[in-house]
Structure 1
Amino acid sequence: MTNQIKRFENKVALVTGGRSGIGRAISRRLRDEGATVITAQRGEDEEFESIGADFSNPNTPEQIIKEVIGRTGKLDVLINNAGMMQEAKIEEMSLEDWQRNLNLNLTAPFLLIRAALPYLRKTCGSIVNTGSVEGLGANPGHAAYCASKAGLHGLTRSVAVDHGDEGIRCNAVAPGWIDTDLNLDMIENIADAETFRRDIARIHPVGRTGSPEEVAALVAFLAAGEAGFITGQVYTVDGGRMTKLSFP
């Protein structure tokens, strides 16, 4: 980061799924702006203080919040970023897989927010959820992912409405195609990777795909005090993809 803005000095931020991809970029951005960052996900985080988390266990979210408070004494920013995507049409998806997707993408954020609210009230804290353009539209075979992200967008609005008078703000970002390591590796395994890269760039009015750092920049703004009059919003970060009509 080239600028020296320190919007999160003396603040504590929890980032789920903060070890890779968009979550890693968010964690770094918040740290660079002064925050004490704790990440939560499966396994250890070699860059940040972290908490091992199995979000399939409904007791995990409350345990994570208690651990953060035990270590730091407070919580100012909650970033619900952990998520998964499983490709399957409805008839191909078992109930167990459906529930697994919803548990990680929607129920875990709900439980984390519920457990964090008493502490966010004390700090007039901020919540930012990582939704998706697939909470607004749909790609083929993504029924569970689309449903869970649309639900997360709705949860964002509800939290903002119910807890705004307590000083708590809640917003979401809806990223489109972002060049995470996972996506880049997927492209490299395609037979004609060069053609795919060209075609995916063409569907974006800006002529390219996005970076995790571009999502992180918006997340940091929404979490910061200067966004104090913004809540209950879902911000699309997709290079104009959802705005562009297909041709012909």
Structure 2
Amino acid sequence: MTRFTDKVALVTGGRSGIGRAIATRLANEGARVFTAQRGKDPEFEGLVTDFTDPQSPARAVAEVAARAGRLDVLINSAGMMQEARIEDMSLEDWQKNLTVNLTAPFLMIKAALPHLRATQGTIVNVGSIEGLGSNPGHAAYCASKAGLHALTRAVAVDHGAEGIRCNAVAPGWIDTDLNLDYIASLDDPATFAARIGTIHPIGRTGRPEEVAALVAFLAAAESGFVTGQVYTVDGGRMSKLSLP
């Protein structure tokens, strides 16, 4: 498919994990892809960006516009997760989580809006099922992802009449390098891997490419009547009730 021929996309966190799968999918479908993250990206046109710096999002968007002359697709995929119960989390760590996961996407969108308005562009935010439910010790992550889901709806409402669409995906357990490395670090990786699969009605965990496929659909013109939505990509995990 060539749904993104002559289109320019900016993917934050596009060097690894779900972000990399999204960047690859968009590039394979014809887009010129820029990625923004802390380090260099040897595969795409990478922009070294520190999302704890409130000036960085605007600089990244400005550089894409200067180099490519336009921006059609913004994907907010960069994020962080820090495990800590509320009583054990410092205000500094709480603020850092919200800065990276929620404020940075807000600033990316703010900077991108004039360019997306000119191209009738699209935004897709990568949220999480933890914006809908919670695992233990993830207060800051859950709060930031729930906020990102709400921001998605607000952008859709405020800017839909300008031809800008904004949607989000909420992935569950996805086999990113980070998650696979975590499993490998456990005492019994095989048992954990088997157990984590059973909590999903589909019987397995997800692949980054499966998230990327939905993101590409939401970013493409064929989903032109879809905006303000949060799509769960979790193998049915959130639909499954626990046993009594």
**Deviation readout 1:148-194 (Å, 9 max, x if unpaired):** 00000000000000000000000000000000011001101100111
Match of 1:153 in 2: 149
Q: Is 2:51 the counterpart of 1:55? A: yes
| Rounded Cα–Cα distance in structure 2 between residues aligned with 1:16 and 1:214 | 18
Give, as a single letter, the amino acid of the residue that structure 2 aligns with 1:162.
D
Give, as a single letter, the amino acid of the residue that structure 2 aligns with 1:87.
E
Match of 2:116 in 1: 120
| Rounded Cα–Cα distance in structure 1 between residues aligned with 2:111 and 2:190 | 46
Give, as a single letter, the amino acid of the residue that structure 1 aligns with 2:200.
H
List runs of 5+ in structure 1 lacking aligned partners. Answer: none
Shift of 1:205: 0.1
Shift of 1:198: 1.0
| Rounded Cα–Cα distance in structure 2 between residues aligned with 1:198 and 1:28 | 29
Match of 2:225 in 1: 229
Match of 1:45 in 2: 41
| Rounded Cα–Cα distance in structure 2 between residues aligned with 1:216 and 1:55 | 22
SS in 1 for 2:66: helix
Q: TM-score, normalised by structure 2?
A: 1.00
| Rounded Cα–Cα distance in structure 2 between residues aligned with 1:43 and 1:26 | 18
Structure 1 segment 49-198 matched on structure 2, within 5 A: 49-198=45-194
- Calculate percent identity across the aligned residue pairs: 73
| Rounded Cα–Cα distance in structure 1 between residues aligned with 2:243 and 2:192 | 18
Structure 1 segment 14-53 matched on structure 2, within 5 A: 14-53=10-49
| Rounded Cα–Cα distance in structure 2 between residues aligned with 1:218 and 1:77 | 14
| Rounded Cα–Cα distance in structure 1 between residues aligned with 2:118 and 2:150 | 25
SS in 2 for 1:34: coil
SS in 2 for 1:239: coil
**Deviation readout 1:195-244 (Å, 9 max, x if unpaired):** 10111000000000000000000000000000000000000000000000
| Rounded Cα–Cα distance in structure 2 between residues aligned with 1:174 and 1:225 | 21
SS in 1 for 2:237: coil
Query: Which portions of structure 1, spanning 4 or more consecutive aligned residues, are displaced by more than 4 angstroms?
Result: none
SS in 2 for 1:242: helix
| Rounded Cα–Cα distance in structure 2 between residues aligned with 1:52 and 1:207 | 38
Aligned length: 244
List runs of 5+ in structure 2 lacking aligned partners. Answer: none
Give, as a single letter, the amino acid of the residue that structure 1 aligns with 2:218.
L
SS in 1 for 2:238: coil
Q: TM-score, normalised by structure 1?
A: 0.98
